[in-house]
């Protein structure tokens, strides 16, 4: 390591002592899937678990077409108390069965510290949603257990604040953290949020953690999801998390941004040659 690089490293270590950049990058294993190594990992599934059939069909489809991890919301953090709030524990059970049957691990969001003990033995990984990135009680509690944590960036959070949220988790003893950029608030009205791909890359330079992006929530526009997944792969990030639904038009939550099965299969086919071109695999 050159003198300049060493100095830089020291400085960064000072700012982010537990998750800051080190000479080797970390990997995080969810189920049997390693994130942060050679493979570009696709996490896919519906915004919310709705029925047994919906989640099992989806799990099977995404697995057949190359996704490695299932996603699905059971406890939903809804801006309005009058929107669908998710199936809760029953939803987690549906996810677990679908995951086992399809042979893919799954990640699901947790909203409250008090739910962690119940859920930890039943999930493969926890997700902290964008609205809870600064929920320090939740971050601290997730640091005191050992299931991996997918930590989404707050849509109003700076890059340093996002890394410091990871420090909160790591300080409790759990550094199995995957960072996920999911779009930030901006003045535009044409897309739901703005995917900060440059910010995701900046964070990957300054931490040892894997970094993925979620273009579904970022754009709210299915036609932009595929191109942005290809972009994330070519740019050198570690994976993507996207929404896939058997029938987006009937989805109870965020259906307008989910990919249909056909579009998902097509995207996976596009990723293959790019992965080869940049020396990555898809698993």
The nearer residue to its own copies, 108 or 132, going by C-beta atoms, is 132
The nearer residue to its own copies, 23 or 190, going by C-beta atoms, is 190
Smallest distance, its own copies to C-beta of residue 247, A: 17
The nearer residue to its own copies, 103 or 227, going by C-beta atoms, is 227
Smallest distance, its own copies to C-beta of residue 192, A: 9
The nearer residue to its own copies, 30 or 87, going by C-beta atoms, is 87
Smallest distance, its own copies to C-beta of residue 170, A: 9
Smallest distance, its own copies to C-beta of residue 60, A: 28
Smallest distance, its own copies to C-beta of residue 264, A: 17
The nearer residue to its own copies, 54 or 219, going by C-beta atoms, is 219
Residues near its own copies (CB under 8 A): 17, 77-82, 111-114, 131-132, 134-138, 154-161, 164, 167-168, 171, 184-191, 194-199, 201-202, 205, 215, 218-219, 221, 223-224, 227-228, 230-236, 270, 273-274, 276-278
The three-state DSSP-derived secondary structure of the chain is: CCHHHHHHHHHHHHHCCCCECCCCCCCEEECCEEECCCECEEEEECCECCCHHHHHHHHHHHHHCCCCEEECECCCCCCCCCCCCCCCHHHHHHHHHHHHHHCCCEEEECCCHHHHHHHCCCCCEEEECHHHCCCHHHHHHHHCCCCCEEEECCCCCCHHHHHHHHHHHHHCCCCCEEEEECCECCCCCCCCCECCHHHHHHHHHHECCCEEECHHHHHCCHHHHHHHHHHHHHHCCCEEEEEECCCHHHCCCCHHHCECHHHHHHHHHHHHHHHHHCCCECC
Smallest distance, its own copies to C-beta of residue 55, A: 23
The nearer residue to its own copies, 75 or 264, going by C-beta atoms, is 75
């Amino acid at each position: 390591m050159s003198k300049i690089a060493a100095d830089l490293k020291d400085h960064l270590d000072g700012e982010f002592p537990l998750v800051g950049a080190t000479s080797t990058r970390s990997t995080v294993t969810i189920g049997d899937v390693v994130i942060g190594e050679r493979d570009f990992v696709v996490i896919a599934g519906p915004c919310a678990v709705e029925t047994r059939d919906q989640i099992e069909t989806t799990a099977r489809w995404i697995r057949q077409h190359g996704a490695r991890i299932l996603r699905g919301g059971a406890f939903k953090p809804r801006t309005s108390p009058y929107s669908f709030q998710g199936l809760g524990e029953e939803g987690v059970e549906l996810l677990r069965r679908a995951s086992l049957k399809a042979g893919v691990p799954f990640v699901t969001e947790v909203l409250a510290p008090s739910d962690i003990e119940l859920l930890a033995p039943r999930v493969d990984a926890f997700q902290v949603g964008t609205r809870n990135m600064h929920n320090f009680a939740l971050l601290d509690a997730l640091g005191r257990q050992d299931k991996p944590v997918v930590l989404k960036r707050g849509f109003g959070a700076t890059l340093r604040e996002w890394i410091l949220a990871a420090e909160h988790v790591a300080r409790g003893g759990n550094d199995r953290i995957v960072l996920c950029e999911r779009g930030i608030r901006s003045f535009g009205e044409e897309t739901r949020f703005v995917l900060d791909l440059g910010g995701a890359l900046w964070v990957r330079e300054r931490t040892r953690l894997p970094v993925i992006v979620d273009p579904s929530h970022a754009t709210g526009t299915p036609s932009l999801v595929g191109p942005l997944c290809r972009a994330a792969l070519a740019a050198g990030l570690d994976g993507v998390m996207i929404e896939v639904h058997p029938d987006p038009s009937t989805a109870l939550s965020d259906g307008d941004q989910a990919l249909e099965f056909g579009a998902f299969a097509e995207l996976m086919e596009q990723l293959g040659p790019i992965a080869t071109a940049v020396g990555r695999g898809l698993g």
